Structures are given as structure tokens and as C-alpha cells.
């Protein structure tokens, strides 16, 4: 999934203020989390292994939101 596809996907949801990403990570401000992670990926790209976790966390959030809807 591309950065643009992720960005478009998140725009289709009414985002909750808070989400438990997994047992060790709770996102306290979901819109800010998405904005920040997308910004990093736009700057450094999807092929930079240093920032792969940013992409992985957005995909995990997408999966959680999809399951909840």
C-alpha cells in the first residue's frame, strides 16, 4: 500500500481519539499519530529501513480500524 493510499484510507474514517495499537503501545492522539507518521514516510520514503516501523504501525492501525468498522 502506498503512502497516498494510506493517506486516502485514513481520510475515510471518523478517527477515534485513542487506540490501543498493541499491549505496549496506546496512541493517545490518533489524528496526530497519523499525520506525524505520514509526514516521516513522505520525507524518507517506504524503502528506507530506518523508518519501516512507521509504515508498519500505520498498517496495524488501519487493520484495527477496519476490524472495528
23 found inside a domain: yes
pTM over 0.85: yes
**Residue-averaged pLDDT of the chain:** 94
In the structure, what pLDDT confidence band is assigned to residue 13 with cuts at 50, 70 and 90?
confident
Give the residue-averaged pLDDT of 47-61.
95
* Residues 6+ away with beta carbon under 8 Å from 34: 10, 15, 58, 61
68 found inside a domain: no
Lowest mean pLDDT among 9-13, 33-37, 52-56, 59-63: 9-13
Give the residue-averaged pLDDT of 28-51.
96
Residues 35 and 37: their CA atoms lie apart, in Å, by 6
Domain enclosing residue 29, as ranges: 3-63
69 found inside a domain: no
Amino acid at each position: 500500500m502506498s503512502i497516498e493510499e494510506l493517506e486516502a484510507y485514513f481520510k475515510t474514517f471518523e478517527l477515534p481519539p485513542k487506540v490501543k495499537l498493541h499491549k505496549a503501545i496506546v496512541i493517545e492522539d490518533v489524528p496526530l499519530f497519523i499525520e506525524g507518521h505520514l509526514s516521516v514516510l513522505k520525507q524518507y520514503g517506504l524503502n528506507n529501513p530506518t523508518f519501516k516501523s512507521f509504515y508498519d504501525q500505520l498498517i496495524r492501525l488501519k487493520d484495527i480500524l477496519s476490524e472495528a468498522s
